[in-house]
Amino acid sequence: MTQMSMNWMRDPTAETTSVKRARLAPPPSLVGKTVGLFDIGKTRTDEFFNQVEMRLQERGIKTKRVGKPTNAKVATPENLAKISAEVDVVIIGLSD
């Protein structure tokens, strides 16, 4: 019996072992929290978020409109850092 030899190829990937970060646990309640409504830059965001905002406010939950200027580009780290300082949780809505 011949010993099995090893062959190899070269890795086409970025060779980054993905280390999944644990998600933050959702808060037990939204009372006293500020919910960010994140506008990704689509045309009908207002229609959608007006409804969401109304529902949240009926429940006494504070909201704040945040977002990025266009859906064609990703949010900048600075923008995300600013938003995370201003709100406790975020809702991102797709609204065409």
Nearest 5°: the CA angle 74, 23, 42 is 30
- Site for another protein (CB under 8 A): how many residues? 20
SS3 of 46, please?
A: helix
Distance in angstroms (rounded) separating the CA atoms of residues 25 and 59 = 21
Among the residue ranges 2-10, 23-31, 47-55, 82-90, the one whose residues contact another protein (CB under 8 A): 2-10
Measured from the CB atom, the residue of 12 and 60 that comes closer to another protein is: 12
Residue numbers 19-78 binding another protein by CB under 8 A: 43, 70-74
Asked if 40 and 93 count as a contact pair (C-beta separation under 8 A), the reply is: yes
Q: How far is the CB of 43 from another protein (least distance, A)?
A: 7
Interaction site with another protein (CB under 8 A):
4-16, 43, 70-74, 94
